[in-house]
Structure 1
Amino acid sequence: MRNLVIVDIGSNSSRMSAYQIDADGFCTEIKRCKSSSRLSEGMGIDKYLTATAIDRTIESLQVFKKAYSNIHDPKVITIATAAVRQAKNQKLFLKKVRKKVGLNVRVLSGHEEAYYDYLGVVNRVKMNDYLVMDIGGASIELVRVRGQKRRDIISIPVGAVNISERFNLSNHVYAADLFNAQRFLKSIFHRVPWLKKSSHYQIVMLGGAARTLARINRNHQSFQNVDHLNGYYLNQHRILGTYEMLLRKNLYDRKHVKGLEKDRADIILGGLLPLITLLDELDSRRVIFSDGGVREGIVNEYLNKYYRKY
């Protein structure tokens, strides 16, 4: 029996998942934790992690360590994504994490993050052709899948937190700010030539903004388990209607929307805008949600390494 722990230092939230792997390679999640550490907050165009965000994240990692310290002899893999990848003071952050928490952090490249997204969903999605979209706090990963094989892959260094900060989408939203934000995103997507090959593809959504969009609608539809998202889908009309509903509310009112975590209310408009923009660009009619992602991709890689038949 092996115990595997994945610590994921994200740009908006940090997460920890613990898995138990039996002798046959069967993997069961036994514990998970999440903290809205908001590491990318205040990075701005200078791309420096702030002291407050670093301290907040280290506190979260210390809580995670207490949570998995009771697990027998865990193999701990710690990864960091866009915020740390982009930070000019990356070395300072990694040194502090190593000193205060005892974790050696692997900083994923954008390509690696997108690849692990693909690896985390490919066995969960029962389709041949689709576009994987992971909207994080400081990056967007896109993977074009055709015939269950990844064909094109990219990581774009913008996400929910920096879009919200840059275009003032946190509280009251003005038409000019929303227009400029969407124009900015369109210009970025137009520079990805292979996206045209994804026209009319269904989009498989990952990330915190995706989970929030799904939970809001599952609450509205009175699902008993609003957190069971794998395979759940929404059509374009429902997604646009949800976004319009959120746009009409200020920050205070958004905090009271069922399914929307209060600590995500200030970045949800910026977090969903890339999806809204891409739905229009590709004329995609349906979005499917997956509970896979980077952590699940790393688990799959680990199983493939030690249990070849899987």
Structure 2
Amino acid sequence: MKLRIATIDIGTNSTRLLIAEVENGFVKPLYKTGRVTRLGRGVKETGYLSQESIERTVAALKEFKKKIEEFQVEKVVAVTTEAARLAKNADEFLIKVKSLGIEVKILSDREEAELVYVANVSHFKPAVPAVTVDLGGGSTEIAYGKGEKLLYYESLKFGVVVLLERFIKNDPPSASELESLERFIEAELEKFKSRAGIERPFRVFGVGGTITSVVAMEEAMTVYDSEKVHGYVVTCQLIEKWFKKVSSVSVEERKRIVGLEEGRADVIVPGLAFFRVFCRVFGVKEITVSELGLLYGLALKEAKRCQKG
């Protein structure tokens, strides 16, 4: 059975849409877009989603709804993640979205990690164990497994927005801020590593706006090219190069970097700090960049459901 679906991922930092045709366990993407909406801005401190963040996100969803109608989508699957898991007023947000005709499910951290992991290993079919790293705005899902079997995962309760709000007050950041930021990330990743029991050799697949931005900046993309980004092997040297560049200049100067989305100009520093530390802690030399995040994982789940009939 062929089905035209839309998957929506309402994250802490950005809101994304994928429209695809699914049939016999396969996903054929037709259209993809995203907006930096910062739904989770300040939620760690206040416990609430701000009205401005809610309105920004609802505005993006109204745009998406027009596209969904234009593509004559038959089924919409919408999820939200860490910001909504934390917020005391998540219901208020979900009701506003429901008024647009979009039902949203708050995804558990395990569901989030597993969907991304399975999407990547089923696509790339690595010959060795795999680690997927989905660096979000409010949380970071790291999953490890062999083939499609997930062996271990954790949802680390920080992402680029949380790291920015917690550690960086100066523009550009001071040396002591960057040092504190990296010390924190290193301690968290070391704890994960000791619990996960990852066997060597393994391949790392990086998902999310930070790692895709490395490719877009390196290739000086005036228009984002997902086909070129997907499967691009980013070396840890390249991460180091761009970390040094972005952390040494102001947010305004970063906005002028070709390939860097304006809405990511502030969070790119903690994002690259994370991957820089990840390379060091896990002793890897490269990360394969993947476009197959949560949106694709949700679509693949629907494709498998259609296959079962």
So what's the TM-score if we normalise by structure 1? 0.91
Tell me what 1:10 maps to. Answer: 11
Alpha-carbon distance, 1:173 to partner: 0.8
Deviations 1:125-174 (A, max 9, x none): 24222311010111101011235532111111200111111111673110
Q: % of aligned pairs identical?
A: 25
Deviations 1:177-214 (A, max 9, x none): 11111122222223323345256644210001111012
Alpha-carbon distance, 1:106 to partner: 0.5
CA contact (8 A) 2:25 2:300 kept: no
Alpha-carbon distance, 1:6 to partner: 0.8
Q: Which amino acid aligns with 2:210?
A: A
**Distance in 1 of aligned mates of 2:52 and 2:46:** 16
**Distance in 2 of aligned mates of 1:74 and 1:169:** 46
**Distance in 2 of aligned mates of 1:224 and 1:44:** 31
Tell me, what secondary structure is at the counterpart of 2:271? helix
**Distance in 2 of aligned mates of 1:171 and 1:40:** 21
Tell me what 2:247 maps to. Answer: 247
CA contact (8 A) 2:110 2:155 kept: yes
Tell me, what secondary structure is at the counterpart of 1:210? helix
Q: Which amino acid aligns with 2:105?
A: R
The more displaced of 90-99 and 25-34 is: 25-34
Is 1:282 aligned with 2:293? no
Tell me what 2:22 maps to. Answer: 21
Tell me what 1:102 maps to. Answer: 101
Deviations 1:31-56 (A, max 9, x none): 22311111111223233111110011
Is 1:216 aligned with 2:217? yes
The more displaced of 33-42 and 68-77 is: 68-77
After the TM superposition, which residues 170-209 of structure 1 pair with which residues of structure 2 at under 5 Å, given as runs? 171-192=171-192, 193-195=194-196, 197=198, 201-209=202-210
**Distance in 1 of aligned mates of 2:107 and 2:157:** 13
CA spacing shift, 1:236–1:196, aligned 2, 3 Å: farther
Q: Which amino acid aligns with 1:129?
A: P
Is 1:113 aligned with 2:115? no
**Distance in 2 of aligned mates of 1:77 and 1:10:** 14
So what's the TM-score if we normalise by structure 2? 0.91
Larger RCO, structures 1/2 (Cα 8 Å, 6+ apart): 2
CA spacing shift, 1:251–1:146, aligned 2, 3 Å: same
Deviations 1:257-299 (A, max 9, x none): 1211111101101122221111111111111111111111111
Deviations 1:235-257 (A, max 9, x none): 22222122111112111111111
Tell me what 1:140 maps to. Answer: 140
The more displaced of 54-63 and 80-89 is: 80-89
Tell me, what secondary structure is at the counterpart of 2:124? coil
Tell me, what secondary structure is at the counterpart of 1:219? coil
Tell me, what secondary structure is at the counterpart of 1:40? coil
Tell me, what secondary structure is at the counterpart of 1:288? strand
Unmatched 5+ stretches in structure 2: none
Tell me what 2:307 maps to. Answer: 307
Unmatched 5+ stretches in structure 1: none
CA contact (8 A) 2:6 2:73 kept: no
Q: What is the aligned-residue RMSD (CA, Å)?
A: 2.4
CA spacing shift, 1:139–1:25, aligned 2, 3 Å: closer
Tell me what 1:166 maps to. Answer: 166
**Distance in 1 of aligned mates of 2:247 and 2:234:** 19
CA spacing shift, 1:251–1:199, aligned 2, 3 Å: farther
After the TM superposition, which residues 30-179 of structure 1 pair with which residues of structure 2 at under 5 Å, given as runs? 30-72=30-72, 74-99=74-99, 101-127=100-126, 128-147=128-147, 149-168=149-168, 171-179=171-179
Q: Which amino acid aligns with 1:228?
A: K
Tell me what 1:298 maps to. Answer: 298
Tell me, what secondary structure is at the counterpart of 2:40? coil
Q: Which amino acid aligns with 1:102?
A: G
CA contact (8 A) 1:199 1:284 kept: no
Tell me, what secondary structure is at the counterpart of 1:203? strand
Deviations 1:106-140 (A, max 9, x none): 11011111011112211222422231101011110
